[in-house]
């Protein structure tokens, strides 16, 4: 910062007084344009929120629909401990500005955390219509499980259709889920070869994203020796990146659903809770872990559960579901669903 005499034109870096003059002289649309850049590249909600506290003008222009519509996923990544009515209002403003990511994020929060299933699902649908792959996939999980309803509300065909759309857009979890559905003939006619092809594709994408992460930082400190390739075929896996809203769910529910007897998906990157008792699939070998989807089950098996899965004690204690015991360990597909299979 250098002091300049009044007569010279304002330099790029000037004193406070001159800065505010210069700022006041900027037309609104230029300020909005700059704020759009800030919101689209923000790495946390505070990057955007702190601007609103700077001055009255930025407070007004910072919530301009154009600025909010461009807010990046990280700008919307509110922490569960910071959830408040004003955080809710902020997301709602972003949704109303046409921010698809905000529709998905608020949809998930309303559906699972606030248990406002109707408006949550319709916000997710709003994002899904605009080809938001995670929203398509999350709606697929809801259809597969009949989440928010009874088990008679499961719609496997709808689940597969939503999954297929998300997979077509390159969503790795959806590709993995669809691969397992095809292999198992779950909600779709069995086609083992096609299922395997999709699993290979999921793994290829997984590897590509790991390599991309490594090219950004040579030692991302992810999982030590982990190689991202072929997680569905028994190789080491590097933990995939978690979507901010999954982190939100995990933080919100902590380790369980506050004594309601409802369980969390045991895959650490998921955070989805059950919406009714026994909604999730359970590992048939140990019975100690539960999953919202085949994809979560397969991935968690490779990431950690194959080391932890202890069949014997549980078998002796419970001895229910012995008809398909042993299935879980071998193929990483893990256990069967409680109560019913299809």
State which residue, 90 or 253, has the beta carbon closest to Zn ion: 253
Q: Using CB under 5 A, which of 68, 182, 285, 299 touches Zn ion?
A: 285
State which residue, 101 or 274, has the beta carbon closest to Zn ion: 274
286 near Zn ion (CB under 5 A): yes
Nearest CA to 154 out of 165, 143, 162 is that of: 143
Give me the residues paired with residue 337 across strands. Answer: 281
Enumerate the H helices of 11-147 as residue ranges: 16-25, 28-41, 45-52, 56-61, 65-69, 85-96, 100-108, 117-129, 133-145
x/- map, 84-123, Zn ion, by CB under 5 A: ----------------------------------------
CA 214, CA 218: separation in Å to the nearest integer? 5
78 near Zn ion (CB under 5 A): no
Residues 6+ away with beta carbon under 8 Å from 148: 111, 117, 121, 142, 275
State which residue, 113 or 286, has the beta carbon closest to Zn ion: 286
State which residue, 48 or 133, has the beta carbon closest to Zn ion: 133
Q: Which of residues 308-327 bind Zn ion (CB under 5 A)?
A: 309
Stretch that binds Zn ion, among 6-14, 16-24, 79-87, 287-295 (CB under 5 A): 287-295
Q: Which two tokens stand for residue 147?
A: 């989440």
CA 46, CA 90: separation in Å to the nearest integer? 12
265 near Zn ion (CB under 5 A): yes
| Residues within the interface to Zn ion (CB under 5 A) | 265, 267, 270, 272, 283, 285-286, 292, 296, 309
């Amino acid at each position: 910062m250098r002091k300049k005499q009044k007569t010279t034109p304002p330099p790029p870096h000037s004193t406070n007084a001159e800065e505010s003059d210069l700022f006041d002289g900027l037309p609104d649309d230029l300020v909005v344009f700059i704020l759009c850049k800030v919101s689209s590249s923000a790495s946390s909600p505070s990057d955007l929120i702190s601007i609103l506290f700077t001055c009255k003008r930025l407070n007004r222009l910072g919530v301009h629909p154009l600025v909010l519509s461009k807010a990046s996923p990280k700008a919307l990544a509110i922490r569960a401990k910071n959830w408040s009515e004003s955080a809710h209002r902020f997301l709602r403003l972003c949704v109303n500005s046409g921010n698809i990511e905000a529709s998905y994020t608020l949809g998930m929060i309303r559906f699972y955390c606030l248990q406002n299933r109707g408006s949550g699902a319709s916000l997710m649908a709003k994002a899904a219509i605009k080809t938001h792959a995670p929203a398509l996939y999350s709606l697929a999980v809801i259809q597969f499980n009949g989440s928010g309803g009874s088990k008679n509300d499961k719609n496997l065909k709808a689940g597969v259709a939503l999954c297929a759309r998300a997979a077509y857009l390159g969503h790795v979890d959806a590709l993995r889920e669809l691969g397992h559905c095809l292999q198992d003939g779950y909600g779709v006619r069995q086609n083992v070869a096609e299922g395997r092809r999709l699993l290979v594709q999921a793994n290829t994408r997984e590897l590509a994203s790991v390599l991309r992460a490594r090219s950004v930082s040579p030692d991302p400190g992810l999982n030590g020796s982990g190689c991202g390739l072929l997680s569905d075929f028994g190789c080491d896996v590097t933990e995939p990146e978690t979507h901010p809203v999954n982190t939100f769910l995990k933080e919100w529910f902590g380790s369980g659903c506050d004594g309601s007897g409802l369980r969390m998906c045991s895959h650490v990157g998921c955070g989805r809770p059950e919406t009714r008792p026994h909604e999730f699939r359970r590992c048939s070998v140990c019975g100690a872990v539960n999953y919202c989807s085949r994809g979560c089950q397969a991935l968690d098996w490779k990431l950690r559960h194959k080391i932890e899965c202890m069949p014997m004690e549980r078998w002796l204690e419970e001895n229910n579901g012995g008809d398909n015991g042993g299935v879980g360990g071998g193929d990483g597909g893990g256990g069967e669903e409680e109560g019913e299979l299809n």
